[in-house]
Structure 1
Amino acid sequence: MSTLVEDVLRLILEELKYDRISLHSCILVNKTWCKMTVPILWKNPGQNLLNDNSKNLLFNIIILHLSNESRNFLKKQEIDLFKDIIESYKHPLLFNYIRYWRYLNIHLLKSMIVSIKNIKNFDKTEIPIIRNEIFNLFINNNRNTKFLRLCFPQQFDYQLHRISGAEHCFSKLESFRCYANTNKYILEGLAGISKSIKKLIFDIMYSINSGIIKLIEAQNNLKEVHFIDHTINLRDESFSRPLEESLIKHANTIQYLRIDWKPNTEILSYLVNLISLDINLSLVRDINWNHLEKLSLPLLKFLRTQKVPSRILSNIIENTKGYLTEISILYEGINDKKLIPTIYHNCPNLKYLKLSLSVRNIIEFENLLNNCQLLNGLVVDIYDHIIKFDWDKLFKILSKSSPISLIKFKFSSNRIISLETLKLFFDNWKNRNPMFLHIIPMYCFTRAEQRKQKQEELQQLENLIKEYKVKEIIKRYYVDSHGSAFEDFEWIQRRSDAYIEF
């Protein structure tokens, strides 16, 4: 019976793995709860955003795990990491916390080492020595542990795969993230060790090397691939074709794909099991999309695009089988009259929608609300540089025609929405379920008096929203003047740092 209770408790604690406050409370219940909670809490200590003080505390815990051999070696190099730490931690650690790590974030480790360098004024020649001992600690100390996730920072050139024990520690990797210009020999070395990666994320800054191709092709069950371009470069065929051809070799297993360029092969036609497609173009140019006009992705559930022609989007949506639950479309098709009807005729299960609207397609938008009765979240982006958008009309349509399930709204505009318009919207919503609301006023001023005006307007906006929160018309709200605090369809959870959780 005791074993059964512990098994049930372990399942409950696993459900709390993202709720670190509750896990900390569980540690304090008793010895049994503590022993079962610590391994969960320490799977990914960098899961949440860490300030400098938190990083230093975490780094101190790591240092305390160094073996006597490592400590003596560092002392011989006249590197004293331990004096202040030992005075702060007079009792031995209760657990070998390093043993529980499953998500090895080199970016986080590197930032902690840089932070300790700044505090203790280590010479730059001493940092590689400290780094080597830390890496050896994680690899060698985890000979009985297999990491599930691995993340490299930019310009990472350390031959991590050559450390004794790396072959065992990285043999069961499920997720890997790095910059696309990472040293190719490191990626090739990892490809020789890790064959079970399901999720790959590559951050593109400048170029891509052949090591990425080998890493992709080495996997046995690749399900998710993201190429995230942080530049505004136009990627030509010589850049993208080798990558697309390597992905085609995993056509039967890939279900999630993000590419930040226009496909140059018929790769999407091969990915018959694709569930999620994300095509994000930074720049618009006259490019040929003809080979995608007859594309059929029958299992697609999530479609996210930016600056993809509306006729291509309409075709993709028409050739799904009604499984689409989430659509995010920006810019292209803003004045297209076919795209919105295509959505509501083919997406009866749609729950989340992000769309750019204009005065020309707002009537069809009302038809969408009447047809997509499962809609729960709506993100509207308005860029009215030429013709002023009619917010009054939009809000009247939302108040009148929103399905009962639609309670989450996010409005982004390059012009401020008047308080009178918002007030009318809130008043008309009073007999509905309380809404979750984000407003993103994407306008900026450069002169001091303009910045002051902006702050005053934002404060007036927030005061109005608070008033309707008290009336229980708004359940939760967030005013975000930068537009980057949340993912598209998040109304509660703050966006985590790209290299903390991946």
Structure 2
Amino acid sequence: MHATTSLLCNTAKWLKKVTYLIIYTEYNKRCNMPLSVNIFRHYSDSISLSIVIMLLLDFFKKKKKDNGYSKTLPPELIRQIVLYLKNDKKSLHSCLLVSRVWCKETVDLLWRKPFHFLYTCNKINTSVFSRFKNSKSIINQRHCSKEKLQYQATNLLKTYLLIKHDKEFVKKGIIKEKGERITFDYFEFLCALDLHELYCAIKYWNQWNKTNSKFNKENPLTFKSVIEYFFMNTPKLETFSLDTKFILYKINNKNPCSFLTEVNKYDEDDRNLYQWDNYILNLLTNESKFLLETTQFFVNLNELVFTVNEMKSDILFSLSKICHNIQKLIITISSHIFVSKWKWKENYISYEAEQLTSLIRSQRNLVYFELFDTLEVGISKILNSLKESQYNSLKSLIFNNIYINCNSEILFYLQFLQNLQELKFNKCICYRIIMFNKIDIFDEEKNHEKGLWLPNLKYLQVDYIDENKVEFKELSFILSSILIRCSPLIDSI
């Protein structure tokens, strides 16, 4: 048995080595330049062995049929390769240069999220959130210059502006009347747009403009004009975000460029990040009628990420009218809003939670829901909307830094989410008084497992802290114990 297993493993390794050897040969046959080593790094561990075997056998059969010569790899195999590299912009650029077939299979992946690629730093290995602890260490690890980033951002935006050749941009001298010929309509490939990344790109365009005489310095590029241009011309957007927590980078195990994370004010004044967020949200709110009419921009939207701290009630309401296919929703209903009275803060949060529930209820198939930073006053409304409208579809439920003092109520709503597969309480906050007074789930006389059964739950994380930001191990232990006993697929955390 051991010998057979060893033989199979060696065969699998050999097949995968042959696969990327063919890739390397194919590239060198077309281009006299080295292929990015990232193509081969970990490649043999990520591509499906069955797919490799099937495609390689087909490839060798064609070679034999053509007297041992084949002009190129089959598109199916090329697609598998570039799909593996979908988050590696350097290697994708290399693939573009191999041949026309490789270019065709690669270009859509490279232009799915170009602004995200613009600010992705593959060479920085520190945590995405390190900037909050030791910003100097991030600055010292920069591997790109600000001038290079400005140049790349300018070229990226210029490419988009030349696609449709909008008369307003020509009139202001931002682009020439007869511009360069663009090979593709890159709007057709655009699937992810983050407003923070777009704002920074516009900022870098204007900075580059100050030292580059080719552009009109008297008419800087404005965020309002660009976002309207993108709204009108993007037909296949899937992910729309204003992600100042950089959650999407964390999910993809990437690090945002430090130049992106440090943007917290305008060049022309001293407005800070709090006000900057308001500027973007107010602009979206003011354009809400325009948004409602521009349904093509949102018709394919399946992922919405709003992690800014400011009030989003109006924009959430507008989106609830036009977005009905969101599958992943990541949002902050912030407890950090500055108001003079605590009661006013609760009212603001309650109202925003109400608008969020409208958005949740309007979705046909919400699969993933992640919430940040809210007070308990909004939790019941949100969970009730999930219970009533998404009980069949919801598979992931994640709470981050949420104030929860009534955990028994959370357990009540969970019993209706039978298809839940992932449940996380990450740094959720609870007052220790519930333990001292033996209330909530510390009340041993109550049956907190009544009606609770989560047959599909596979991943569980329970991590509570108290009002002093100290680990609340007792609560984490009790809540996780209850959930484990009611989840047959989980033995431990």
Alignment TM-score, normalising by the size of structure 2: 0.51
Q: Structure 2 counterpart of 1:27, which letter? A: L
Secondary structure in 2 matching 1:253: coil
Pairing 1:126–2:239 present: no
1:9 to 71, 75, 78: 78
* Counterpart in the other structure of 2:329: 225
Aligned equivalents of 2:185, 2:395: Cα separation in 1: 40
Deviation at 1:3, TM superposition (A): 11
Pairing 1:257–2:396 present: no
- 1:318–1:342 contact (8 Å) kept in structure 2: no
- 2:238–2:302 contact (8 Å) kept in structure 1: no
* Counterpart in the other structure of 1:63: 158
2:236 to 146, 171, 185: 146
For 1:48-447, what aligned pairs fall within 5 Å after superposition?
48=117, 49-50=119-120, 52=146, 53-63=148-158, 66-67=161-162, 77=172, 79=173, 97=186, 100-121=189-210, 126-128=219-221, 132=225, 138=230, 142=233, 145-151=235-241, 183-192=284-293, 193=295, 194-229=298-333, 231-233=335-337, 235-236=346-347, 238-240=350-352, 242-243=354-355, 245-247=357-359, 249-250=361-362, 253-259=365-371, 260-262=374-376, 263-265=379-381, 266-270=384-388, 271-273=390-392, 274-281=394-401, 291-295=409-413, 296=415, 297-305=417-425, 306-307=428-429, 318-331=452-465, 333-336=472-475, 338-347=478-487, 349-350=489-490, 371-372=491-492
Aligned equivalents of 2:319, 2:106: Cα separation in 1: 35
Aligned equivalents of 1:249, 1:63: Cα separation in 2: 39
* Counterpart in the other structure of 2:107: 38
> Percent sequence identity over matched residues?
18
Deviation at 1:116, TM superposition (A): 2.9
Q: Structure 1 counterpart of 2:479, which letter? A: L
- 2:326–2:365 contact (8 Å) kept in structure 1: yes
Deviation at 1:342, TM superposition (A): 2.9
Deviation at 1:249, TM superposition (A): 2.8
Q: Structure 2 counterpart of 1:101, which letter? A: L
Q: Structure 2 counterpart of 1:272, which letter? A: Y
C-alpha distance 283-148 of structure 1, shift in aligned 2 (>3 A): closer
Aligned equivalents of 1:195, 1:65: Cα separation in 2: 21
Aligned equivalents of 2:488, 2:171: Cα separation in 1: 69
Number of aligned residue pairs: give it. 317
Deviation at 1:191, TM superposition (A): 3.9
Aligned equivalents of 1:228, 1:97: Cα separation in 2: 31
- 1:202–1:228 contact (8 Å) kept in structure 2: yes
Query: What RMSD in Å do the two structures reach over aligned CA positions?
Result: 4.4
1:63-112 Cα shifts (integer Å, max 9, x gaps): 256559969976865x5778xxx9xxxx9766565553332344333212
Q: Structure 2 counterpart of 1:227, which letter? A: I
Aligned equivalents of 2:290, 2:170: Cα separation in 1: 32
Aligned equivalents of 1:68, 1:23: Cα separation in 2: 22
Secondary structure in 1 matching 2:155: helix
1:206-238 Cα shifts (integer Å, max 9, x gaps): 323334123224433333323214553554464
Instruction: Give 5+ residue unaligned stretches, structure 2.
Output: 1-61, 63-70, 121-143, 245-278, 338-344, 443-447, 467-471
Aligned equivalents of 1:105, 1:256: Cα separation in 2: 19
Alignment TM-score, normalising by the size of structure 1: 0.51
Deviation at 1:348, TM superposition (A): 5.2
* Counterpart in the other structure of 1:166: none
Instruction: Give 5+ residue unaligned stretches, structure 1.
Output: 155-177, 351-370, 376-502
C-alpha distance 213-12 of structure 1, shift in aligned 2 (>3 A): same
1:273-294 Cα shifts (integer Å, max 9, x gaps): 332222334557xx55664453
Secondary structure in 1 matching 2:332: strand
